[in-house]
Chains A and B, each alone.
Chain A
Amino acid sequence: MEKKQKDQYYSMPFPDLVRLCQQDDQFALDILIKRNEKIVYNTLYHLDPNRPDLSDLTQEVLFRMARSIKKLRNPDTFKYWLNQIITNLFYDELRRKTRRLPTVSIDEPISEQDYASVVTREIPDIGQIPEESILGSELDEKIKEAIQKLPEQFRIVIVLRELQGLSYDEIAKITKTSIGTVKSRLARARNKLQEHIRPYLQ
């Protein structure tokens, strides 16, 4: 029964799943989070690929989503609403902070446990993101590079359109611009991407 319900929840359209979450269905909430974690991570990754704490941010977005799911009046707008949470987090929190490397205090006393095991203090490696998938193909590498090279306002419309599948109207509201601006930014972003991958289009 549970497996059947699980399958059903996995294939259910998001608005229906959201309605169940709003009725305090914990199982539905669990599935809603699972179905969105990859896309949230993916969006954040392409908005700011150099951040070392993308997993934490993904969790933060999903927490905010779960916390205020009952406040979503129209479940049909779930995708748009979720992207508002993502971009709000991106703009409000990520960009306000000065991008500094995390510091490690050398004066902080080493605990007894540290003495017992390893005496030397290791500086955490922030360069690698364990969950980052290394894309194999050359073309994927090219696209990744091309997306990262895009100016931010172009990158965000590409991510919201091609990854999230939002309408121009929704993208305009999220980015606080007009539909015309979205149209032209998207066209220019696509042209720029096309320039990078032109040899693969033949």
Chain B
Amino acid sequence: MEDHICEEIKALIPDFHDGEIKDKELYDKISRHLKVCKDCRAELEQLIELSKIVKKYFNVEEIDNSYKYNTEFLMYNPDEIQYCNNVRDKISAYIDNELLEQDRLIVEKHLKNCKICYRDYENLKLTSQIVQKYFDKINFSEANVSSRVIERLNKYKTERIAISIAVATVLGVALFHFIFISNFKFELNDKSFKTKTGQQSNEQNPEETEKILPGLSF
């Protein structure tokens, strides 16, 4: 991948050297690459040296205005070159004010010193603003949404109340039955218990109880 980029850039270095790269985007791309790639930078430096020799041979004055390329990147120290890569990844978050303080300071300092990264920052910020404006232009012209939502909400609340009442009624009835049946069973249990223990033997004959309540003796 890197080799592929180097090949592409190396092919453009003579044009770059002669100030023939008119496309801003392409110019920035080459500049960025030269900042980080020693080989390609060496190629350009070689070309500059060669150009000096040729000019000397033809007795042309040293470096005149015909050199349009920006030599800024040749003067960068390695740390700063490294920063370009690090900073570029952080520009988006910097725009959103979402960087940690220490990162924010690094980006801010670098943007003051690096024109290329500063241009990247400005373009990205502008992109963000344009997108925000675009979103603002979308219209939603459906009428009465609010009243329809509120109407649906009121219907939902009424239904909920109706369901609550129904559930409460069912539970109430179930509870009533449960209590009533439990009491009834308890009474029966009580009677059979008393009969079985024979404590009140004269009250009722056990056989009689069997007759009255078949299957309910315990």
A residues contacting B by CB (< 8 A) are 26, 29-30, 33-34, 37-38, 41-42, 45-46, 55, 58-59, 62-63, 66-67, 131, 133, 135, 139-140, 143-144, 147, 158, 161-163, 167-168, 183-184, 186-187, 190-191, 193-194, 197-198, 200-202
B24 / chain A contacts, CB cutoff of 8 Å? 202
Total A-B contacts with CB atoms under 8 angstroms apart: 110
CB distance from A176 to the nearest CB of B (A): 19
| Bound complex: CA A161 to CA B92 (Å) | 11
Interface of A: prevailing SS: helix
Could you say which residues of chain A place their CB within 8 Å of the CB of B153?
63, 66-67
Number of interface residues of B (CB under 8 A): 33
For the complex, give the distance between the alpha carbons of A39 and B123 in Å: 26
Q: B142–A133 contact, CB under 8 A?
A: no
B140 near A37 with CB under 8 A, answer yes
- Please report the C-alpha to C-alpha distance between residue A133 and residue B139 in the assembled complex, in whole angstroms: 5
Tell me whether A194 and B145 are in contact (CB under 8 A). Answer: no
Residues of B within 8 A of A (CB): 24-25, 89, 91-93, 96, 98, 123-124, 126-128, 130-132, 134-135, 137-142, 145-150, 152-153, 156
A57 and B36 alpha carbons, distance in the complex (Å): 50
17 A-B pairs with CB atoms under 8 Å apart are A37-B140, A37-B146, A58-B140, A63-B149, A63-B156, A131-B141, A131-B142, A133-B139, A143-B130, A143-B131, A144-B134, A187-B91, A190-B124, A190-B127, A191-B124, A193-B127, A200-B130
